[in-house]
Amino acid sequence: MRIWSLAPVVALILQMSATVWGQSTVQQPAGEENISEKIINPIAFLMRMTLENKYSPSLWDTPGGENQVEGDWVIPSKFFNKPNLARIKVFFDTSETDGAHGLSEVQIFNLMLSQRSWGSFGVGISVQLNTQTSSSLGTVAPGPAIGAVVRHRKWKYGLFNQNFLSDTLAQTDLQPILAYAFNKKWSSEIGDAQYTYDWKKHRITSIPLSGQLNRIVSFEKQDIHFFIRAQYEAKNDSGSDKWTIAAGVSFILQE
């Protein structure tokens, strides 16, 4: 069973998000992109709430499977008259091979955005909070974050990088961005594929290959984003996920 050492931190995060969420006077930068084009940009100035379930039916060299639920809050705002984007992502393990379950980690970033003629650029800070377990202490690992997304007609491509650095955790995550919007309702992309380098182990620990299909559905004035993703982990570390099927829903919040 996970030890909920991060419960006070998560409560503070949710309080902070609620406070920022109340600042509904934030105006989105003017642009010609529709919702289908915005959701394939992970640093788009777009408020949304996402719930995702990830099921791994097979692991490398280990019998059994795993299941994880993620909650994701993306909150645009303005500080010093500059557009900022905050994201809070909470990971909750519902099933593991060792029988453990509960909150596993929280990731937060805040980027200052710059809208350019070719796309968008963001730089800021990220932090990862890991819960305490029976075999390890909880960690708080901050680090720099940077991302750039190029827009070319209906295509988007770029990179998003986060770094988590502490005495016990030193990790770099690199997310390649490649996406295409077919129309106002359908789009496809690589998805949230994080290539990970562990500086403590001096090696790459994750090489995911994935594809995701997106669908926008509108109910009156509410846009809802449904998605499904298949992912294969090419780095065959024992116990790591081999195949993963993810599905989720995201509520797009606009004025």
Residues 196-246: tens digit of each pLDDT:
999 999 999 999 999 999 999 998 889 999 999 999 999 988 888 999 999
Decide which of 7 and 188 is more confident.
Answer: 188
How many other C-beta atoms are found inside a 10 Å radius of the C-beta of residue 242? 17
DSSP 99-153: S--EEEEEEEEEEEEEEETTEEEEEEEEEEEE---SSS--EEEEEEEEEEEEEET
pTM of the shown model: 0.84
pLDDT over threshold 70, residue 186: yes
Cα radius of gyration rounded to whole Å, the chain: 18
Record the tokens describing residue 5, joined without a space: 């050492």
pLDDT at position 163 over 90:
yes
29-67 pLDDT per residue, tens: 445 688 999 999 999 999 999 999 999 999 998 888 899
113: in domain: yes
Q: Is residue 192 part of a domain?
A: yes
Q: Is the pLDDT of residue 18 over 50?
A: no
Residue 1 covered by a domain: no
pLDDT at 94: 93
Instruction: Decide if 2 is inside a domain.
Output: no
Q: What are the pLDDT digits (tens) for 80-109?
A: 888 999 999 999 999 877 767 788 899 999
112 within a domain of the structure (yes/no): yes
> What's the Cα-to-Cα distance from 24 to each of 173, 221, 250, rounded to whole Å?
31, 16, 18
Q: What pLDDT is recorded for position 111?
A: 96
* Cα–Cα distance measured from residue 71 to residue 52, given in angstroms and rounded to the nearest whole number: 7
| Lowest mean pLDDT segment, chosen from 8-17, 65-74, 115-124 | 8-17
| Highest-pLDDT range among 18-32, 92-106, 154-168 | 154-168
Structural domain containing residue 110: 7-253
CA distance linking residue 230 with residue 31, whole number of Å: 31
CATH number at residue 146: 2.40.160.40
CB-based contact 194:175 (threshold 8 Å):
yes
Residues β-bridged to residue 213:
188, 228
Residue 55 Rama label (left phi>0; alpha psi -120 to 50; beta):
beta
What are the CB-based long-range contacts (under 8 Å, 24+) for 6-15? 6/103, 6/106, 6/129, 6/130, 6/131, 6/132, 6/138, 7/103, 9/106, 9/129, 10/90, 10/103, 10/106, 13/88, 13/106, 13/108, 14/88
Confidence of residue 137 (pLDDT cuts 50, 70, 90): low
Split at pLDDT 50, 70, 90, the class of 132 is low
Does any domain span residue 225?
yes
Q: Per the domain annotation, does 66 fall within a domain?
A: yes
Overall number of domains in the chain: 1
Domain contains 216: yes
